Each structure stands twice: as structure tokens, then as C-alpha cells.
């Protein structure tokens, strides 16, 4: 049942040919004009029905949502709004959609409503555009790393180490819930569990990627990660996809250069390949913003913003400089921050990150050299003994999009830090081995893929840029 794609037909190259297409009805007007969409493009193709050729009984089954196979002649369109259309010779109804119950009707549905219909929402313009851009971004990620000498590395999803401390974990077990085996102390006996120890879903593939970077040189992971934190925000998912490059012989500056170049490259890719969808999403965002007060509207339209990112340098600022800026900022002095900034050492909240990016610098910011106390154990300690070679990239409208660092490659310093944080050496014996055998300067970062898609599409909620979002109290579908 080979058929043409609507994207190809709309380019007009098959004019006056007999063509066959498959797709879903978006609208059916005057019992004569079918707008058909097959997902290959945002645009529908208009199919014009000749009553003499098509049975009444067939026409009765055509509604918004019906799946059809249509054959006909591709001609120049007489009507306005499209350049070509199909004069229909034959229609086969794969499956109809009862208009009394089919929820995706040709009218405006709220994003909240569509979240409850996540299995059908890709049949709307907004979600199909978002998902095509998402797919293009994923491709651009692989292309970037391949072009730059990286190997794609698959980190394990089930992990036996829970020491990274990146977030709360989801336990993986096959023990009987109601009657688990117990130790003499009455604790659950994980020796009897499937893996003979406690295991969880991974929060990050970094530690394993480090092992492979120290052999293959430059590697990256791009896979699902899981965090059981109860953050019900528009920026957090319990299951999200993370891209984690890890590079031997890279210091923090090399790491920042790579992260910036990488983000610019994938944004340029969609500017080049997803114009139609981006134009649609830009218009969607403009319409949405009309309902908001002036002060909350963004200064740039979507495509302009993406171009701005791909063409301008990110601002690099130390944590210490950022704290000075925040301490002296208007909202801090006027007590407008929920978490006031008083002293060096304070962890930055998203309100602070967004102030720096949106109000102060008005461009993406890379903050680096954070206090050791608020960052993970594996980050390399600076000479001052109190800051680490960490970097976060902050984006307008998003806040943190990347978190990364130069890694502590010195065995003695790493052991001291683990001891201070009560991380048992037995748990990470293999990670310490990497510092015993051929250790070297190395660095990496993690980019939350959905935060990138959120930024690139101008959507407002992370639940709307992943096909089936997992959030607290929600794992439907």
C-alpha cells in the first residue's frame, strides 16, 4: 500500500499525475472539501470530491479524525490557500471517527485538555509541530557529536550505584511487595533480590560515561533518566532524556566551549530544517502571549530568539560575580525574591537564574566556579579550596539547561570529598579505580533534552514537549 507523502505532493512536482495518499481528516467542508494530513508536514492537502464518483455511503463515514486512502489527480488549485489539490477519483475508509465522541475537533483545545488525551494530541498542529522539531533536534544531537569525533555510548538504565546524589531514585526490585525476605535485623534483604543488591533507575549516565571517556576519548550518552523528586513544576519531569558528553583531556574552559558550540549547532540545524513548524509555533506563541500582561511577554519572537542564541556569545560569569550582581539587584533590595541573597554560598534558585539571564545580561549565561558545598562530590576542587570547577548554562525562560563540570581526577582529593559526604568507597570502587589507573584531566556536562525542546519550540510547559510525560501522580498511557 505504497503512497506518496503529502509533503512531497505539496512541492508540486507530481502535477497532473495520478497519486495515492493516506492520512487523517482534519476537516471536511460542504461534503466536498477534505483537508487531509499524514504527519509528513504541518500542511494539509485539499482533496476535492466529485459526487458522481464517490458513493454517498462512503461520504457518510468521513469525519474529522477518519483515516482515508485517497486516489486522484494532482492539479493546480482553483481555490485560495493552497497551490495544489487532489481531484478525487477514489476513497477507501480505513477507519472512521465518530464525531459524537472523537475529542480532537477542529477548534481550539486547551493544552491542559490535550494532556489528558496524550494518545491523540499529536493529531493537532501544535503537537505535531513540537514532535517534528523534537525529532529533528535529536537527529542534530547525534550529527553534532558524530561530526566532532564522539562515540555514542549507552549507559545502563538500571544502576547499582546510588551515590551520584543528582536526585531521588526509583527503586527496581522483583521482591514480593507483601512478603519480602527479611534480614535478621528485620530490614528487607536485598541479597535475595534479582540483582543480589539494591538497584535503581539511573539519574545520570555520567559516572559510567567517565569510564568510557577514559578509553575512547570522547563519548556521549543520550538516553532516559529518572528522578523521583516531587517537583511539580513546568520544568521538571520524573522521566526525561539527557545528553551527556564526557571528554578525556578537556578542562572546564574546553567543556564550556563545547557546550556552547553544541547548543548553537543544534539550534542552527532546526532553523535550517524546521522553518514551517517554527513559523507555526512562533505564531502560536504570539497568540498565547496576547493573553498575558505586557511585562510577561517576551521581547523577541521565537525565530528571532533562536537566531539570537545561535549567533551571539554566551556570557561567562563566575558564581562569585553573579552573587555580587544579585545581592545589589533591585528585586533583592526590594525583597522581591522569595529567597533573598545575603551571602556567598547561597544556592541559586530559578528566580535568581532568570533574573541574571532575562533582566541583567539579556543573553544565555554560563555560571562557573560554584561553592563546593552546593555541588556534587565529583567536581574538581579549585586551588582556593572552597570552589569547584562546575558550570551551569542558564537560558531565558528556562533557567538551568545544562549542568556540568571538570571532574576531580586526583585520587586523594576525591577520597577526601567522599569521606566528608559519607559516600562509602566500596560503592564506587570502580570509579576510584579510574583515578588509580591512567587518570587524567576530564570534563563533561548534561543537557536536559526536554528543556532544549521547550526552548526551541516556545512551549511553556515541559509536559507538552515529551510524548507521554511522567510527573508525580501521573503515568497514564
Question: Contact residues for ligand 4AD (CB under 6 A)?
Answer: 166, 204, 206, 227, 236-237, 240, 242, 244, 400-404, 444-448, 450-451
Which CB atom, from 403 or from 469, has the smaller least distance to Mg ion? 403
Partner from Mg ion, ligand 4AD, none binding residue 281, C-beta < 5-8 Å depending on class: none
Q: What are the residues whose beta carbons fall under 8 Å from the beta carbon of 317, sequence distance 6 or more? A: 325, 356, 361, 365, 366, 367, 368
- Write down the least CB distance from residue 402 to Mg ion, Å: 8
Which CB atom, from 237 or from 278, has the smaller least distance to Mg ion? 237
Which CB atom, from 45 or from 466, has the smaller least distance to ligand 4AD? 466
Question: Which string of b and e fits 185-195 if b means at least 16 CB within 10 Å?
Answer: eeeeebeebee
Which CB atom, from 166 or from 456, has the smaller least distance to ligand 4AD? 166
Partner from Mg ion, ligand 4AD, none binding residue 260, C-beta < 5-8 Å depending on class: none
Which CB atom, from 242 or from 323, has the smaller least distance to Mg ion? 242
- Write down the least CB distance from residue 392 to Mg ion, Å: 6
Partner from Mg ion, ligand 4AD, none binding residue 244, C-beta < 5-8 Å depending on class: ligand 4AD
Partner from Mg ion, ligand 4AD, none binding residue 364, C-beta < 5-8 Å depending on class: none
Single out the residue of 269, 368, 273 nearest to residue 314, CA to CA. 368
CA 232 to chain centroid: 17
| Residue with the CB atom nearest Mg ion in the bound state | 403
Partner from Mg ion, ligand 4AD, none binding residue 267, C-beta < 5-8 Å depending on class: none
Which CB atom, from 9 or from 434, has the smaller least distance to ligand 4AD? 434
Q: What are the residues whose beta carbons fall under 8 Å from the beta carbon of 350, sequence distance 6 or more? A: 235, 399, 400
Q: What are the residues whose beta carbons fall under 8 Å from the beta carbon of 140, sequence distance 6 or more? A: 265, 266, 269, 270
Which of the 8 DSSP states describes residue 348?
Answer: P
- Write down the least CB distance from residue 335 to Mg ion, Å: 27
- Write down the least CB distance from residue 10 to ligand 4AD, Å: 36
Q: What are the residues whose beta carbons fall under 8 Å from the beta carbon of 305, sequence distance 6 or more? A: 298, 396, 458
Three cell numbers, residue 346: 547561597
Partner from Mg ion, ligand 4AD, none binding residue 240, C-beta < 5-8 Å depending on class: ligand 4AD
Which of the 8 DSSP states describes residue 92?
Answer: E
- Interaction site with Mg ion (CB under 5 A): 403
- Write down the least CB distance from residue 67 to ligand 4AD, Å: 34
Q: Give the 3-state secondary structure of residue 328.
A: coil
Please give the Cα distance from 178 to 362 (Å, whole number). 55
- Write down the least CB distance from residue 274 to ligand 4AD, Å: 21
* CA dihedral (186, 187, 190, 193) positive or negative: positive
- Write down the least CB distance from residue 456 to ligand 4AD, Å: 13
Which CB atom, from 396 or from 403, has the smaller least distance to Mg ion? 403
Please give the Cα distance from 227 to 137 (Å, whole number). 23
Amino acid at each position: 500500500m505504497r503512497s506518496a507523502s503529502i509533503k512531497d505532493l505539496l512541492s508540486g512536482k507530481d502535477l497532473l499525475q495520478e497519486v495515492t495518499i493516506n492520512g487523517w481528516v482534519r476537516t471536511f467542508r460542504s461534503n466536498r472539501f477534505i483537508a487531509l494530513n499524514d504527519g509528513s508536514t504541518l500542511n494539509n492537502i485539499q482533496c476535492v470530491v466529485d459526487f458522481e464518483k464517490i458513493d454517498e455511503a462512503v461520504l457518510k463515514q468521513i469525519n474529522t479524525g477518519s483515516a482515508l486512502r485517497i486516489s486522484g489527480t494532482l492539479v493546480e488549485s482553483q481555490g485560495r490557500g493552497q497551490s495544489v489539490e487532489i481531484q478525487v477519483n477514489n476513497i477507501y475508509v480505513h477507519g472512521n471517527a465518530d464525531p459524537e465522541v472523537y475529542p480532537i475537533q477542529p477548534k481550539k483545545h486547551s493544552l491542559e485538555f490535550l494532556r489528558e488525551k496524550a494518545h491523540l494530541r499529536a493529531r493537532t498542529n501544535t503537537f505535531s509541530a513540537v514532535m517534528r522539531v523534537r525529532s529533528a533536534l535529536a537527529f542534530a544531537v547525534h550529527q553534532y557529536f558524530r561530526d566532532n569525533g564522539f562515540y555514542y555510548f549507552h549507559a545502563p538504565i538500571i544502576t547499582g550505584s546510588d551515590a551520584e546524589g543528582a536526585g531521588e531514585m526509583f527503586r527496581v526490585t522483583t521482591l514480593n511487595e507483601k512478603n519480602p525476605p527479611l534480614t535478621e535485623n528485620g530490614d528487607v534483604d536485598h541479597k535475595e533480590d534479582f540483582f543480589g543488591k539494591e538497584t535503581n533507575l539511573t539519574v545520570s549516565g555520567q559516572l559510567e560515561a567517565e569510564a568510557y571517556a577514559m578509553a575512547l576519548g570522547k563519548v556521549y550518552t543520550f538516553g532516559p533518566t529518572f528522578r523521583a523528586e516531587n517537583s511539580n513544576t513546568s520544568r521538571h519531569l520524573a522521566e526525561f532524556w539527557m545528553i551527556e558528553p564526557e571528554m578525556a583531556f578537556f578542562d572546564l574552559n574546553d567543556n564550556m566551549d563545547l557546550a556552547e558550540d553544541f547548543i548553537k549547532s543544534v539550534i542552527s540545524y532546526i532553523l535550517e530544517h524546521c522553518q514551517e513548524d517554527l513559523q507555526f509555533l512562533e505564531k502560536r506563541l504570539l497568540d498565547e502571549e496576547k493573553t498575558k500582561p505586557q511585562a510577561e511577554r517576551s521581547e523577541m519572537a521565537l525565530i528571532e530568539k533562536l537566531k539570537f542564541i545561535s549567533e551571539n556569545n554566551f556570557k561567562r560569569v563566575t558564581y562569585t560575580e553573579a552573587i555580587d550582581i544579585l545581592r545589589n539587584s533591585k528585586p533583592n533590595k526590594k525583597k522581591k525574591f522569595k529567597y533573598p541573597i545575603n551571602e556567598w554560598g547561597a544556592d541559586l534558585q530559578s528566580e535568581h537564574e532568570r533574573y541574571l539571564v532575562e533582566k541583567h545580561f539579556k543573553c544565555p549565561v554560563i555560571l562557573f566556579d560554584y561553592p563546593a558545598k552546593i555541588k556534587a562530590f565529583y567536581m574538581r576542587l579549585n586551588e582556593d579550596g572552597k570552589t569547584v570547577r562546575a558550570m551551569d548554562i542558564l537560558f531565558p525562560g528556562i533557567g538551568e539547561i545544562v549542568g556540568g563540570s571538570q571532574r576531580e581526577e586526583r585520587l586523594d582529593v576525591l577520597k577526601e570529598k567522599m569521606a566528608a559526604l559519607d559516600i562509602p568507597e566500596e560503592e564506587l570502587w570502580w570509579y576510584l579505580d579510574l583515578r588509580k589507573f591512567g587518570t587524567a584531566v576530564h570534563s563533561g556536562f548534561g543537557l536536559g533534552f526536554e528543556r532544549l525542546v521547550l526552548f526551541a519550540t516556545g512551549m511553556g510547559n515541559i509536559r507538552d514537549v515529551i510524548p507521554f510525560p511522567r510527573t508525580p501522580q501521573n503515568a497514564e498511557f
